[in-house]
Structure 1
């Protein structure tokens, strides 16, 4: 394998047509090769214990893993490819540490929260702003503080349970929550909660992705760039991912995120090299 690829050009959070991505898996790999990526990971939404339109179906898991293996062999001389899953922490029985997910032959696992329980029903809080506001009213009595607190409490249970490599879109709920309450991120209770959350991550030794999916559309990263100095203070390892659902977005927002990390005093990102997570110096000159 050649070694003249641009530094820091990797992506370990991406979706394809096996879940809610918009193109076949190989289209993403071909685009990564075209752009000179050093490594690329496929991370479909893992199956849930009930039907969901945006997840990989359990019956297709073998086909999903077989396709990644095929592409690993076909592109071995051009790029390092990795098999991942984005796994929801649903409850104590269904989460990244569950035996089912731990026994799968994966190279890495992402731990995420998309659903919050209300009166025995799981409600999707990773939606458009209008649906979020409607769900807040219908299922959570318009109590935004309680919903956001429940979200971070659930994430902290996920972190404590483990079974994953890095936390996906660490504070994504605040994007929709701020549409309901613009100053929510400045509230003392929120700032205290976010610190408690990242301290939990640091204590358990997990990594955090800087998710760039909404950067060009909304000018934000997850976690918000205002927390980057806290990540540095707590010495939490970070990596940059675009959460791509289209091949053309695999590198979206990466350079901007790397620059923002440098501004916050963080000079390395984590990358899979030869199957091992390694700190790699940020090199903006490669862009």
Structure 2
């Protein structure tokens, strides 16, 4: 089985272990390709993003590990970068000038007023409080704002693939029962994926929440639409712990295969390549 992962978080941001621990675990599990992707610095303080003054150390250590393990595993230097505004996103000059192998474009915040932002990728209870406080308990409004930010991310560009693109489904479904089955949500998501396809973007299938919640992002129910729209995908664990770097991958690949996907994207020799699923995992 060919094992890869391009989304993980170390102690440079909110991960639980140093970079080298993730490499060691990747080798132990037989990974062929692995990427580092700490949360990029933000223009305001959070408890999960990397501080800007750590960037030089992060880049240096990643590059040292690439060289140290070059004969054992393909290692890649990435960064998960938030879309906030047209000025702050993966296409910003600061991020484009960093010597990265790839960039993940993600949305964790939505703008509420004049460059004031609220976290929508937080815990379920805090999400509920934020929706009550900033959106007058209107869950449909926050979903609309979230996917508007996702569209702006795509228009801004500067990324290689989009991270956990419908992750708001976790908090929205926990607080507004039945919203994922509503015609409103299905319409918003379908329109968004059509926009993704129109702009020829790659998506990750994020398996972080599979073991605890049985959820993938995008959710499994959207896989057939993604395939019909010919959107290229990859499977990433978004792991914050070394032992979870392969969590949910098998199940995600199986679901993609069931939806008649025939390949997933991987980095090989620095090039994004479509690899047939049947050569990666046999069911």
Measured against the shorter chain, the TM-score band is over 0.9
- 2:131 aligned to 124, 136, 145, which one? 136
CA positional deviation for 1:57: 1.1
SS of 1:28's equivalent? helix
Residue 261 (str. 1) matches residue 260 (str. 2): no
Q: Which residue of structure 2 lines up, in the alignment, with residue 159 of structure 1?
A: 154
Residue 114 (str. 1) matches residue 114 (str. 2): no
User: Alignment length, in residue pairs?
Assistant: 281
SS of 2:77's equivalent? strand
Relative to the length of structure 2, the TM-score reads 0.97
Residue 40 (str. 1) matches residue 31 (str. 2): no
Q: Which residue of structure 1 lines up, in the alignment, with residue 271 of structure 2?
A: 276
Q: Which residue of structure 2 lines up, in the alignment, with residue 31 of structure 1?
A: 25
Give CA-to-partner distance per residue, 1:192-247, whole Å, 9 cap, x none.
11111111111111100000000000001000000000100100000000000000
Give CA-to-partner distance per residue, 1:99-126, whole Å, 9 cap, x none.
1111110000000000112234311111
In structure 2, C-alpha distance between the alignment counterparts of 1:154 and 1:285, rounded to whole Å: 35
RMSD of aligned Cα (Å) = 1.1
Q: 1:285 to 1:162 in 2, by over 3 A?
A: closer
Q: 1:51 to 1:82 in 2, by over 3 A?
A: same
Q: Name stretches of at least 5 consecutive residues in structure 1 with no aligned partner.
A: 1-5
CA positional deviation for 1:285: 4.2
Q: Name stretches of at least 5 consecutive residues in structure 2 with no aligned partner.
A: none
Give CA-to-partner distance per residue, 1:16-50, whole Å, 9 cap, x none.
00000010010001000111101000000001111
In structure 1, C-alpha distance between the alignment counterparts of 2:215 and 2:46, rounded to whole Å: 27
Q: Which residue of structure 2 lines up, in the alignment, with residue 185 of structure 1?
A: 180
SS of 2:81's equivalent? strand
Residue 79 (str. 1) matches residue 79 (str. 2): no
Segment drifting more, 263-272 vs 174-183: 174-183
Segment drifting more, 116-125 vs 70-79: 116-125
Q: 1:97 to 1:285 in 2, by over 3 A?
A: closer
Q: Which residue of structure 2 lines up, in the alignment, with residue 214 of structure 1?
A: 209
Relative to the length of structure 1, the TM-score reads 0.96
Q: Which residue of structure 2 lines up, in the alignment, with residue 53 of structure 1?
A: 47
